[in-house]
A = this chain, B = another copy of it.
Amino acid sequence: MAELKIYKIGGGIIDDDTHLSDFLQDFSQIRSKKILIHGGGKGASALLKKLGIEPKMIDGRRITDKPTLDVVTALYAGLLNKKIVSLLQKYDENAIGLSGADGNLIQAVQRPVKEIDYGFVGDVEKKNINISLLDLLLKNGYTPVLCAITHDKNGQLLNTNADTIASTVAEAAADFYDTELHFCFDKIGVLRDINDENSLIPRINHSDYETLKVEKIVADGMIPKLDNAFRVICSGVKKVVLEHASNINNDTKTIITD
């Protein structure tokens, strides 16, 4: 199987023009087939406030009412996605920006209302990724750039978590490609001591992870990230990488394998 590298970037890179441009130049130098998935950054909350709409968050998750959906669709699928695509084009990467509605790439289900009504938020499953479209583009030299807007195939756009999209696309791709999933975030990887960058753990497999949890070396915010990484690996993804966006072309990173 051919190699496929999927990168997810979020707010820390997206909100800084210089970091974003540097990252995209580094990304364009990766030689294998690849997909970029981007979150939204802080722009949405700022624009909502400018328009007199108070952003609503519960446990760090955005409540997406109709005006909020319009703003995030405009920003994520429009301004941000096209900015990234045009910069990649500058670096001779033949990027093509897509939302989940385009080519029915990611069909989602609006999250049912339980304790919290998240509004127009979509949940996605591996079986609803149109991998044949991604495959068509990749085989013809295009690099898909996905924003975190999906749809329900009934005319409704939906806001979806970008980490979830990255994981689900990686799971779907793993049946056809040797797939790596790279999460670029604000740390250089998993650290033994969160205050010491020299304590990077370069590789973690499943049994290492059990030990690290018992020893309470990984805790808090890192556990959901690692749980997700091992779930994705169970679905056939070869490796998950946690790294800083400025390090994608060097060895400073944590590689997670089975």
Which residues from chain A sit less than 8 Å from chain B, CB to CB?
21, 50-51, 70, 73-79, 81-83, 85-87, 89-90, 94-99, 101-104, 133, 136, 140, 142, 149, 151, 153-157
Return chain B residues, CB-CB under 8 Å to A155.
Answer: 21, 86-87, 89-90
Minimum distance in angstroms from A147 CB to a CB of chain B: 9
Return chain B residues, CB-CB under 8 Å to A74.
Answer: 74-75, 78-79
Return chain B residues, CB-CB under 8 Å to A70.
Answer: 79
Top 3 closest pairs, chain A to chain B, by CB: A78-B78, A90-B155, A74-B74
Q: Is B99 within 8 A of A103, CB to CB? A: no
CA distance A85 to B75 in the complex (A): 16
Q: Which chain B residue has the least Cβ–Cβ distance from A70?
A: B79
Cβ-defined partner of A99 (8 Å) among B75, B97, B136, B156 = B97
CA distance A157 to B83 in the complex (A): 7
CA distance A74 to B77 in the complex (A): 8
Q: Which chain B residue has the least Cβ–Cβ distance from A140?
A: B136
Among A76, A90, A95, the one with the most B-chain Cβ atoms within 10 Å of its Cβ is: A90
CA distance A95 to B157 in the complex (A): 14
Return chain B residues, CB-CB under 8 Å to A102.
Answer: 82, 85, 95-98
CA distance A154 to B89 in the complex (A): 7
Minimum distance in angstroms from A112 CB to a CB of chain B: 20
